[in-house]
Amino acid sequence: MKIGFIGLGIMGKPMSKNLLKAGYQLVVCGHVAKGPVEELVAAGAQAAATPGQVAEQADLVITMLPNSPQVKEVVLGKNGILESACSGTIVVDMSSIAPLVSREMASLLAEKGVEMLDAPVSGGEPKAIAGTLAVMAGGKKEVFDKCLPILKSMASSVVLAGDIGAGNVTKLANQIIVALNIAAMSEAFVLATKAGVSPDLVFQAIRGGLAGSAVLDAKAPLVMDRKFNPGFRINLHMKDLNNALETAHEIGVPLPLTAAVMEIMQALKVEGLADLDHSAVVRYFEKLAKIEVKAMKSD
């Protein structure tokens, strides 16, 4: 099976490399930058100039793009996937977008006999590189089963959550939990630091208890080492929370805590920090308390 991959950013490039390592033939198209395309070609992939050219050559096309407008452009726009895909082609959108957009695209693709899964991921750049992402998919079970070996070459966990759109609903739930975890961790570590207790020792003390989480293990060391280079940017998390809030409003679900964290991230964006990793949410609380969270060195 020949696979197409469109979108070679922080996540898409390492995911593509893992497909090559698994032995798949790959044709790639960069949505914006050309450098990653050249890197993938050097690793054994073929290059295509447009999404439509990818669809002409591939049995299955994966998209990994920033948000709904970019995915719609690539799938439905001029020189897009829909123009060139043949009946029987499968589109797997691994972007994190609005569930209603996934359903809209799936309906239009189906008119041409093209199947679709929405299959967003969690784990950030480190797990994309390691091939240990968590994939949450929506779509027909028979289509999911065909795609499962391919998805497993990029992920350690792949779950079919329901019909088309269910993957992105699951991802929105995931992003709410991650955002609130980071905010709670930030608030707690600022409290500890201001009270004169090393946040590193707090981290070591609580990580094995009920407060422990994958988020805590991944983000606490970054905060204390002041390493905010992006594994997952604040502005992308804002996009996900905005999709969560819009979806919730459409179906009548209040999300007061999500809205609060969204405003914290908005404040950081105003400060010019939206391209930092979402662990930099701690900087909002640090500014309020006039303290910086870092491990305290003993004499």
Q: Is 39 in the same domain as 133?
A: yes
- The domain that contains 34 carries what CATH number? 3.40.50.720
Domain C-terminal end among 117, 145, 164:
164
Q: Is 13 a catalytic residue?
A: no
Per-residue pLDDT of 229-273, as tens digits, reads 988 899 999 999 999 999 999 999 999 999 999 999 999 999 999
CA 230 and chain centroid, separation? 12
Q: Is 70 in the same domain as 118?
A: yes
In a domain, residue 296? The reply is no
Domain C-terminal end among 164, 190, 225:
164
Q: Which pLDDT score, from 0 to 100, does residue 124 have?
A: 87
Per-residue pLDDT of 117-129, as tens digits, reads 999 999 888 899 9
| Domain span holding position 100 | 2-164
Domain C-terminal end among 130, 164, 198:
164
Q: Is 200 in the same domain as 251?
A: yes
Q: Is 115 in the same domain as 206?
A: no
Q: Which pLDDT score, from 0 to 100, does residue 299 have?
A: 47
If one counts the domains in the chain, the total is 2
Quick one: how many helices (H) and strands (E) in the chain?
14, 9
In a domain, residue 294? The reply is no
- The domain that contains 272 carries what CATH number? 1.10.1040.10
Q: Is 135 in the same domain as 189?
A: no
pLDDT below 70 — which residues of the chain?
31-33, 297-299
Out of 17, 171, 219, 239, the active site residue is 171
Per-residue pLDDT of 128-160, as tens digits, reads 999 999 999 999 999 999 999 999 999 999 999
Q: Is 180 in the same domain as 156?
A: no
Q: Which pLDDT score, from 0 to 100, does residue 31 have?
A: 66
Distance CA 151, CA 19 (A): 9
Closest CA to 257 of 136, 134, 173: 173
In a domain, residue 298? The reply is no
Q: Is 155 in the same domain as 177?
A: no
Q: Which pLDDT score, from 0 to 100, does residue 298 have?
A: 55
In a domain, residue 218? The reply is yes
